[in-house]
Amino acid sequence: MAALAVVFYHYSDQRGFPSLFPGPYAVTLFFELSGLLITWLLLKEIDETGRLDRRQFYLRRGLRLFPVFYVVWALCRLAGPFAGSWAMLFYMGDYYHALNQHYSMLTVAWSLGVEEKFYLLWPFLLTRIQRPTLIKVLYGVLIAEPVYRSALSLCGYRAFTWFAFDCHLDAIVLGCLIAIAARRHWIVPRWISHPWTPICALILIFALQSQPDIVTYLLAVILVSVVSRPSPLLNNRVMHYLGIISYSLYLCHGYTRDVLWPWITRGVTFRNPITVFVAQFALAIAGASALHFAIERPFLKLKHRFRGKKPAVPASTPGAHLNCRQSST
């Protein structure tokens, strides 16, 4: 859903349509989800094997992320030089765009720069710092980050806070804390798991778009709610398939819009913006599907060779420990 929201945001923005969801906050949700899933997997490996094999973790992350990213980067580069291309190549797009607001068909890769730095630092911190101390540090980050961003904005560096890794730590940390709580068998309050909770939180997000610090926590509420009580809307065949290709879709939708679409429709004029929107979205799905089956899937098969020493516990997911509180409190 986060990937789809980004695509809708970029495709509707060029046509003057109202956005179905604030695009930047979809990336915030992605950071929270990443913090949750990565921390869950790391803690699960530590609990099952007594240690964390950082080398295998980095190999798995590399096989998951690098192949399709570098293929899309190469395709964009073949189409012509674009802003920040070499910074993107080395996953420094976040700081490139923080310092130079020059956008391109691969601008979305700034978020991958944030993610990569998280992947590099977090396993080291998780194994070197005692858990109680680490939790205190994470809470400290949650308190300090809004103050830090506000200070930068007051000093005239507001655009820097939109992209830089050090300005998105609270979203990632929230996901990490949720995972730590889940591994400790946190009992989720009933109001969070109520079916109306994510709907009400989403309404508040639209109403409070100008308050990013509040929206970050509302997104965390939605995340915990849908994990603790999975929705049929997010667990059908269509959404499952879109989830499988979501990484490729996130990366290639700018290329399909700016390069493939003009090439396919050269000499043809479309006057109906809705038709263009639907056709471009279908083309993005087709491009993402091709990338997934041709590039992602072969490398994902290799990824399974780099697992922990013990087999995974069946049906062990974050939702398994985000239990709903049965009392009325």
Residue 313: its pLDDT value, please? 42
pLDDT-wise least confident of 89-93, 288-292, 308-312: 308-312
CA distance 267 to 264: 9
Q: Check pLDDT > 90 for residue 232.
A: no
Split at pLDDT 50, 70, 90, the class of 328 is very low
Contacts made by residues 69-74, CB under 8 angstroms, sequence distance 24+: 69/109, 69/112, 69/251, 71/291, 71/295, 72/106, 72/248, 72/251, 72/252, 72/255, 72/291, 73/106, 73/109
Q: Check pLDDT > 70 for residue 311.
A: no
Q: What is the mean pLDDT of residues 137-157?
A: 96
Split at pLDDT 50, 70, 90, the class of 271 is confident
Q: Which residues pair with 324 in a beta bridge?
A: 188
Closest to 222 in 3D by CA, of 183, 278, 53, 233: 233
Residue 18: its pLDDT value, please? 56
Other CB atoms within a 10 A radius of the CB of residue 66 amount to 13
Residue 307: its pLDDT value, please? 64
**DSSP label at 310?**
S
User: 3-46, pLDDT tens digit by residue?
Assistant: 999 998 888 866 556 555 677 899 999 999 999 999 999 999 99
User: What rounded mean pLDDT belongs to the chain?
Assistant: 88
List the alpha helices (DSSP H) in 92-167: 93-99, 110-128, 131-154, 158-163
Q: Check pLDDT > 90 for residue 329.
A: no
List the alpha helices (DSSP H) in the chain: 2-13, 23-49, 54-78, 85-89, 93-99, 110-128, 131-154, 158-163, 169-183, 190-193, 197-207, 212-228, 237-244, 246-255, 261-264, 273-291, 297-303, 318-321
User: 88-121, pLDDT tens digit by residue?
Assistant: 999 999 999 999 988 899 999 999 999 999 999 9
- For 128, residues 6+ apart whose C-beta sits below 8 A from its C-beta are none
Q: What is the CA radius of gyration of the chain?
A: 20
Dihedral angle, C-alpha 273, 279, 285, 287, nearest 10 °:
-110
Residue 319: its pLDDT value, please? 59
CA distance 162 to 137: 23
* Spans of all domains in the chain: 2-307+317-322
User: 180-206, pLDDT tens digit by residue?
Assistant: 999 988 888 889 988 899 999 999 998
Residue 314: its pLDDT value, please? 39
CA distance 48 to 237: 32
> Is 321:71 a contact under the CB 8 Å cutoff?
no
